[in-house]
Amino acid sequence: MITFKNSEGENNGRAKLTVKEAQTICRQAWAGVPNTELAKLFGISREEVSNIKHGRHWAKHTIEIRRANKAS
C-alpha cells in the first residue's frame, strides 16, 4: 500500500479548490452569500459550500474564519 504524506487540501490530486479559494468560500458564506451563488462561481456543489462553511471539509484551513464568525 502506498501512502502519501501530504495529500490533503490542494495537494490532493482530486482537489478542485486551492486553500485560498476554500477560505474565500468560507468567508463569503458566513457573510451571507447564498451557497448556490458560491457553488456556481467556484464550480462546486452547494453541499460542498456548506461543508466548507461548517468545517466538514477544508477544516484545517478555515478554522480561524469559522471561529471568528461563531464568536460574533
DSSP 5-67: TT-SGGGSTT--S-HHHHHHHHHHHHTT--HHHHHHHHTS-HHHHHHHHTTSSSHHHHHHHHH
Write down the pTM of the prediction. Answer: 0.85
Half-sphere exposure of 70 (CA within 13 A, CB side): 10
End-to-end CA distance of the chain: 45
Count of residues making up the chain: 72
What confidence tens digit (pLDDT) does each residue in 14-45 have? 788 999 999 999 999 999 999 999 999 999 99
Confidence band (pLDDT; 50, 70, 90) for 1? low
Q: Where are the domains of the chain?
A: 16-71
Using the predicted structure, report yes or no on whether residue 2 has a pLDDT greater than 70: no
